[in-house]
Protein backbone atom coordinates (compact mmCIF):
# COMPACT_ATOMS: atom_id res chain seq x y z
CA UNK A 1 0.00 0.00 0.00
CA UNK A 2 1.16 3.52 -0.82
CA UNK A 3 0.18 6.06 1.84
CA UNK A 4 0.09 9.86 1.66
CA UNK A 5 -0.63 11.95 4.76
CA UNK A 6 -2.32 15.25 3.96
CA UNK A 7 -3.45 18.06 6.27
CA UNK A 8 -7.06 16.90 6.43
CA UNK A 9 -7.11 13.35 5.05
CA UNK A 10 -5.14 10.17 4.41
CA UNK A 11 -4.82 8.82 0.86
CA UNK A 12 -3.96 5.18 0.18
CA UNK A 13 -3.34 3.41 -3.12
CA UNK A 14 -4.49 -0.16 -2.53
CA UNK A 15 -3.02 -2.91 -4.76
CA UNK A 16 -4.57 -6.02 -6.20
CA UNK A 17 -2.88 -9.40 -5.74
CA UNK A 18 -2.22 -12.58 -7.67
CA UNK A 19 -2.11 -16.06 -6.17
CA UNK A 20 0.89 -17.76 -7.76
CA UNK A 21 0.23 -20.83 -5.64
CA UNK A 22 -2.92 -22.04 -3.90
CA UNK A 23 -3.27 -25.41 -2.17
CA UNK A 24 -6.30 -26.52 -0.16
CA UNK A 25 -5.22 -28.73 2.74
CA UNK A 26 -8.60 -29.57 4.28
CA UNK A 27 -11.66 -28.18 6.00
CA UNK A 28 -11.37 -26.77 9.52
CA UNK A 29 -13.81 -27.17 12.38
CA UNK A 30 -14.68 -23.45 12.10
CA UNK A 31 -15.99 -24.02 8.57
CA UNK A 32 -13.07 -22.36 6.80
CA UNK A 33 -10.50 -24.25 4.74
CA UNK A 34 -6.86 -24.71 5.71
CA UNK A 35 -4.78 -23.35 2.84
CA UNK A 36 -1.25 -22.56 1.79
CA UNK A 37 -0.90 -19.79 -0.76
CA UNK A 38 1.82 -17.58 -2.20
CA UNK A 39 0.66 -14.13 -3.21
CA UNK A 40 2.24 -11.09 -4.80
CA UNK A 41 0.81 -7.55 -4.93
CA UNK A 42 0.51 -6.00 -8.40
CA UNK A 43 0.36 -2.44 -9.68
CA UNK A 44 -3.39 -2.38 -10.28
CA UNK A 45 -4.71 -0.01 -7.62
CA UNK A 46 -7.91 1.25 -6.04
CA UNK A 47 -7.65 4.78 -4.59
CA UNK A 48 -8.99 5.47 -1.10
CA UNK A 49 -9.22 8.75 0.81
CA UNK A 50 -10.09 8.76 4.50
CA UNK A 51 -11.22 12.10 5.94
CA UNK A 52 -11.90 12.07 9.71
CA UNK A 53 -14.39 14.32 11.44
CA UNK A 54 -14.52 14.90 15.15
CA UNK A 55 -17.76 16.88 15.59
CA UNK A 56 -19.06 16.10 19.07
CA UNK A 57 -16.06 13.89 19.78
CA UNK A 58 -12.59 14.38 21.14
CA UNK A 59 -9.71 13.00 19.10
CA UNK A 60 -7.49 10.64 21.08
CA UNK A 61 -4.88 12.63 22.96
CA UNK A 62 -7.03 15.75 23.28
CA UNK A 63 -6.90 17.64 26.60
CA UNK A 64 -10.63 18.17 27.07
CA UNK A 65 -12.96 15.30 28.04
CA UNK A 66 -15.41 13.88 25.53
CA UNK A 67 -19.09 14.80 25.88
CA UNK A 68 -21.21 12.58 28.09
CA UNK A 69 -22.80 10.59 26.63
CA UNK A 70 -20.39 10.59 23.65
CA UNK A 71 -21.76 11.49 20.25
CA UNK A 72 -20.86 8.87 17.66
CA UNK A 73 -20.21 10.44 14.28
CA UNK A 74 -21.23 8.85 11.01
CA UNK A 75 -19.01 6.71 8.83
CA UNK A 76 -19.96 7.47 5.24
CA UNK A 77 -18.65 5.55 2.22
CA UNK A 78 -18.77 6.78 -1.37
CA UNK A 79 -17.67 3.87 -3.57
CA UNK A 80 -17.69 4.02 -7.35
CA UNK A 81 -15.76 2.90 -10.40
CA UNK A 82 -12.93 5.28 -11.22
CA UNK A 83 -12.92 7.78 -14.06
CA UNK A 84 -14.48 6.62 -17.27
CA UNK A 85 -14.59 2.97 -16.22
CA UNK A 86 -17.89 1.47 -17.30
CA UNK A 87 -19.22 -1.07 -14.78
CA UNK A 88 -20.87 -2.91 -17.66
CA UNK A 89 -17.42 -3.99 -18.92
CA UNK A 90 -17.33 -7.09 -16.71
CA UNK A 91 -15.85 -5.42 -13.62
CA UNK A 92 -18.48 -6.93 -11.34
CA UNK A 93 -20.86 -5.42 -8.83
CA UNK A 94 -20.13 -3.04 -5.97
CA UNK A 95 -21.80 -4.00 -2.66
CA UNK A 96 -24.02 -1.50 -0.79
CA UNK A 97 -22.06 0.83 1.48
CA UNK A 98 -23.15 -0.91 4.68
CA UNK A 99 -21.96 -4.29 3.38
CA UNK A 100 -18.73 -3.04 1.82
CA UNK A 101 -15.63 -4.45 3.51
CA UNK A 102 -14.20 -0.92 3.72
CA UNK A 103 -17.13 0.22 5.88
CA UNK A 104 -16.93 -2.90 8.01
CA UNK A 105 -13.20 -2.26 8.58
CA UNK A 106 -13.85 1.30 9.75
CA UNK A 107 -16.66 0.21 12.09
CA UNK A 108 -14.54 -2.58 13.58
CA UNK A 109 -11.51 -0.36 14.14
CA UNK A 110 -13.58 2.38 15.75
CA UNK A 111 -15.39 -0.04 18.06
CA UNK A 112 -12.23 -1.79 19.23
CA UNK A 113 -10.32 1.48 19.74
CA UNK A 114 -13.21 3.21 21.55
CA UNK A 115 -13.26 6.05 19.04
CA UNK A 116 -16.41 8.15 18.58
CA UNK A 117 -15.13 10.20 15.64
CA UNK A 118 -16.52 9.59 12.18
CA UNK A 119 -15.11 9.59 8.69
CA UNK A 120 -15.92 10.12 5.05
CA UNK A 121 -14.33 7.40 2.92
CA UNK A 122 -14.12 7.84 -0.83
CA UNK A 123 -13.16 4.76 -2.77
CA UNK A 124 -12.40 4.80 -6.48
CA UNK A 125 -12.41 1.23 -7.74
CA UNK A 126 -10.22 -0.09 -10.56
CA UNK A 127 -9.73 -3.66 -9.31
CA UNK A 128 -12.51 -5.89 -10.69
CA UNK A 129 -14.69 -7.63 -8.13
CA UNK A 130 -15.41 -11.37 -7.84
CA UNK A 131 -12.13 -11.97 -9.66
CA UNK A 132 -9.78 -13.44 -7.04
CA UNK A 133 -7.70 -10.24 -7.12
CA UNK A 134 -8.31 -9.18 -3.51
CA UNK A 135 -9.73 -5.73 -4.21
CA UNK A 136 -12.14 -5.70 -1.26
CA UNK A 137 -9.52 -7.12 1.10
CA UNK A 138 -6.97 -4.56 -0.01
CA UNK A 139 -9.48 -1.74 0.56
CA UNK A 140 -10.22 -3.03 4.06
CA UNK A 141 -6.52 -3.11 4.95
CA UNK A 142 -6.20 0.45 3.66
CA UNK A 143 -9.07 1.61 5.88
CA UNK A 144 -7.44 0.05 8.96
CA UNK A 145 -4.17 1.76 8.12
CA UNK A 146 -5.75 5.14 7.31
CA UNK A 147 -8.14 5.09 10.28
CA UNK A 148 -5.31 4.27 12.65
CA UNK A 149 -3.49 7.39 11.44
CA UNK A 150 -6.41 9.77 10.91
CA UNK A 151 -8.15 8.97 14.21
CA UNK A 152 -4.77 9.13 16.01
CA UNK A 153 -5.13 5.67 17.48
CA UNK A 154 -1.47 4.84 16.86
CA UNK A 155 -1.74 1.09 17.22
CA UNK A 156 1.24 -1.01 16.11
CA UNK A 157 1.06 -2.89 12.82
CA UNK A 158 0.68 -6.23 14.63
CA UNK A 159 -2.55 -5.12 16.28
CA UNK A 160 -3.98 -3.93 12.98
CA UNK A 161 -3.16 -7.31 11.46
CA UNK A 162 -5.20 -9.00 14.21
CA UNK A 163 -8.22 -6.92 13.18
CA UNK A 164 -7.48 -7.62 9.53
CA UNK A 165 -7.76 -11.37 10.17
CA UNK A 166 -11.27 -10.86 11.58
CA UNK A 167 -12.39 -9.12 8.40
CA UNK A 168 -11.23 -11.66 5.84
CA UNK A 169 -8.63 -14.28 5.03
CA UNK A 170 -6.74 -12.13 2.49
CA UNK A 171 -6.75 -8.84 4.44
CA UNK A 172 -3.60 -9.49 6.56
CA UNK A 173 -1.55 -10.14 3.41
CA UNK A 174 -1.74 -6.51 2.36
CA UNK A 175 0.29 -5.46 5.40
CA UNK A 176 3.21 -7.61 4.19
CA UNK A 177 4.38 -5.05 1.64
CA UNK A 178 5.44 -7.64 -0.92
CA UNK A 179 5.34 -11.31 -1.81
CA UNK A 180 4.29 -13.59 1.05
CA UNK A 181 3.25 -17.13 1.89
CA UNK A 182 -0.04 -17.24 3.79
CA UNK A 183 -1.25 -20.19 5.82
CA UNK A 184 -4.11 -21.15 8.14
CA UNK A 185 -7.16 -19.69 6.41
CA UNK A 186 -4.79 -17.04 5.03
CA UNK A 187 -4.21 -15.00 8.18
CA UNK A 188 -0.72 -16.34 9.03
CA UNK A 189 1.62 -14.33 6.81
CA UNK A 190 5.28 -15.09 6.13
CA UNK A 191 6.96 -12.39 4.05
CA UNK A 192 9.39 -13.61 1.41
CA UNK A 193 12.85 -12.21 0.94
CA UNK A 194 13.29 -9.83 -1.98
CA UNK A 195 11.99 -11.43 -5.16
CA UNK A 196 12.45 -10.41 -8.77
CA UNK A 197 9.70 -8.42 -10.44
CA UNK A 198 7.22 -10.38 -12.53
CA UNK A 199 5.37 -9.05 -15.56
CA UNK A 200 1.91 -10.47 -16.15
CA UNK A 201 -1.37 -9.94 -17.95
CA UNK A 202 -4.65 -10.26 -16.07
CA UNK A 203 -8.10 -10.84 -17.57
CA UNK A 204 -11.44 -10.56 -15.79
CA UNK A 205 -13.96 -12.49 -17.95
CA UNK A 206 -17.62 -11.44 -18.22
CA UNK A 207 -18.76 -13.53 -15.27
CA UNK A 208 -17.60 -13.91 -11.69
CA UNK A 209 -17.58 -16.90 -9.37
CA UNK A 210 -18.83 -17.30 -5.81
CA UNK A 211 -16.00 -18.41 -3.54
CA UNK A 212 -18.25 -20.76 -1.54
CA UNK A 213 -19.43 -22.45 -4.73
CA UNK A 214 -15.87 -23.07 -5.93
CA UNK A 215 -14.79 -24.52 -2.56
CA UNK A 216 -17.85 -26.78 -2.54
CA UNK A 217 -16.53 -28.44 -5.71
CA UNK A 218 -12.94 -28.69 -4.46
CA UNK A 219 -11.20 -31.81 -3.14
CA UNK A 220 -8.11 -31.10 -0.99
CA UNK A 221 -4.76 -32.23 -2.35
CA UNK A 222 -3.75 -35.77 -1.30
CA UNK A 223 -0.87 -35.49 -0.89
CA UNK A 224 -0.80 -31.69 -0.96
CA UNK A 225 1.66 -29.86 -3.17
CA UNK A 226 4.44 -27.86 -1.54
CA UNK A 227 4.92 -24.16 -2.10
CA UNK A 228 8.68 -24.45 -1.44
CA UNK A 229 9.84 -25.08 -5.06
CA UNK A 230 7.97 -22.00 -6.30
CA UNK A 231 9.27 -19.84 -3.47
CA UNK A 232 12.80 -20.98 -4.26
CA UNK A 233 12.38 -20.22 -7.98
CA UNK A 234 11.08 -16.74 -7.16
CA UNK A 235 14.07 -16.00 -4.93
CA UNK A 236 16.48 -17.17 -7.67
CA UNK A 237 14.67 -15.24 -10.37
CA UNK A 238 14.26 -18.45 -12.40
CA UNK A 239 11.32 -17.42 -14.58
CA UNK A 240 11.04 -20.76 -16.39
CA UNK A 241 10.73 -22.62 -13.07
CA UNK A 242 8.24 -20.06 -11.77
CA UNK A 243 6.08 -20.81 -14.81
CA UNK A 244 6.28 -24.55 -14.17
CA UNK A 245 5.65 -24.31 -10.43
CA UNK A 246 2.60 -22.01 -10.28
CA UNK A 247 -0.48 -23.94 -9.17
CA UNK A 248 -4.05 -23.36 -8.04
CA UNK A 249 -6.07 -26.23 -6.55
CA UNK A 250 -9.28 -24.22 -7.08
CA UNK A 251 -8.90 -23.91 -10.85
CA UNK A 252 -10.25 -27.35 -11.71
CA UNK A 253 -13.44 -26.97 -9.66
CA UNK A 254 -13.86 -23.47 -11.07
CA UNK A 255 -13.54 -24.90 -14.58
CA UNK A 256 -16.40 -27.29 -13.78
CA UNK A 257 -18.60 -24.27 -13.04
CA UNK A 258 -17.43 -21.77 -15.65
CA UNK A 259 -16.32 -22.49 -19.21
CA UNK A 260 -14.26 -19.31 -19.11
CA UNK A 261 -11.45 -21.03 -17.24
CA UNK A 262 -10.75 -23.43 -20.10
CA UNK A 263 -11.09 -20.71 -22.70
CA UNK A 264 -8.67 -18.37 -20.94
CA UNK A 265 -6.11 -21.15 -20.45
CA UNK A 266 -6.22 -21.80 -24.19
CA UNK A 267 -5.94 -18.09 -25.01
CA UNK A 268 -2.85 -17.65 -22.85
CA UNK A 269 -1.21 -20.87 -24.09
CA UNK A 270 -1.22 -19.46 -27.63
CA UNK A 271 0.58 -16.28 -26.59
CA UNK A 272 3.86 -17.67 -25.29
CA UNK A 273 3.40 -17.04 -21.56
CA UNK A 274 5.74 -18.94 -19.25
CA UNK A 275 2.72 -20.00 -17.19
CA UNK A 276 -0.95 -19.12 -16.72
CA UNK A 277 -3.64 -19.85 -14.16
CA UNK A 278 -6.62 -18.55 -12.20
CA UNK A 279 -6.04 -16.25 -9.23
CA UNK A 280 -7.67 -17.11 -5.92
CA UNK A 281 -11.18 -18.47 -6.39
CA UNK A 282 -11.49 -16.69 -9.76
CA UNK A 283 -12.60 -15.74 -12.23
CA UNK A 284 -9.57 -13.50 -12.78
CA UNK A 285 -6.96 -15.28 -14.90
CA UNK A 286 -3.35 -14.29 -15.47
CA UNK A 287 -0.39 -15.19 -17.63
CA UNK A 288 3.23 -14.61 -16.58
CA UNK A 289 5.20 -12.94 -19.36
CA UNK A 290 8.90 -12.86 -20.25
CA UNK A 291 9.21 -9.07 -19.87
CA UNK A 292 7.22 -5.84 -20.04
CA UNK A 293 7.19 -5.71 -23.85
CA UNK A 294 5.84 -9.26 -24.01
CA UNK A 295 3.13 -8.33 -21.49
CA UNK A 296 2.04 -5.35 -23.59
CA UNK A 297 1.90 -7.60 -26.67
CA UNK A 298 -0.17 -10.25 -24.88
CA UNK A 299 -2.52 -7.62 -23.44
CA UNK A 300 -3.07 -6.10 -26.88
CA UNK A 301 -3.89 -9.46 -28.42
CA UNK A 302 -6.35 -10.32 -25.64
CA UNK A 303 -8.06 -6.93 -25.79
CA UNK A 304 -8.65 -7.53 -29.49
CA UNK A 305 -10.52 -10.70 -28.54
CA UNK A 306 -13.05 -8.69 -26.51
CA UNK A 307 -13.12 -11.15 -23.62
CA UNK A 308 -13.28 -8.62 -20.80
CA UNK A 309 -11.04 -6.07 -19.09
CA UNK A 310 -7.34 -6.80 -19.66
CA UNK A 311 -4.45 -5.40 -17.59
CA UNK A 312 -0.70 -5.52 -18.18
CA UNK A 313 0.75 -5.48 -14.65
CA UNK A 314 3.94 -6.06 -12.71
CA UNK A 315 4.47 -7.37 -9.20
CB 36 within 8 A of CB 23: yes
Catalytic, 27? Answer: no
Query: If you compute the radius of gyration of the chain from its CA atoms, what whole number of angstroms results?
Result: 20
CB 277 within 8 A of CB 248: yes
CB 296 within 8 A of CB 310: no
Catalytic, 17? Answer: yes
For residues 313 and 294, give the distance between their C-alpha atoms in angstroms, rounded to a whole number: 11
Tell me which of 46, 73, 139, 170 is the catalytic residue. Answer: 170
Q: SS3 for 232-273, per residue?
A: HHHHHCCHHHHHHHCEECCHHHHHHHCCHHHHHHHHHHCCCC
Residue 45 neighbours by CB distance under 10 Å: 22
Tell me which of 6, 17, 139, 238 is the catalytic residue. Answer: 17
> To 10 degrees, what angle do helices 101-113 and 157-167 make?
130
To 5 degrees, how large is the angle CA 7–CA 9–CA 10?
110
For residues 257 and 129, give the distance between their C-alpha atoms in angstroms, rounded to a whole number: 18
CB 206 within 8 A of CB 10: no
Residue 121 neighbours by CB distance under 10 Å: 25
- What letter does residue 290 receive in the DSSP assignment? S
List the beta bridge partners of residue 124: 47, 80
Tell me which residue of 307, 237, 248, 243 sits closest to 269, measured CA to CA.
243
Residue 122 neighbours by CB distance under 10 Å: 16
Just list the catalytic residues. 17, 170
Amino acid sequence: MRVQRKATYIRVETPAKLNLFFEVLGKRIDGFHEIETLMVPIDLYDSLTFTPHFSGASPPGAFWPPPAPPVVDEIALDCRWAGSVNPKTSLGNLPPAAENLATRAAVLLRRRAGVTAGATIRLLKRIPSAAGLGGGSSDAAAVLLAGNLAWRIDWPRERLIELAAELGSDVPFFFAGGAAICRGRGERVESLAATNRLHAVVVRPPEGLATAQVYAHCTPGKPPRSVAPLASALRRGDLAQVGRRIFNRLEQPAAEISAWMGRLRREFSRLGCVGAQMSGSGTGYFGICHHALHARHVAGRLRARGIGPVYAVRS
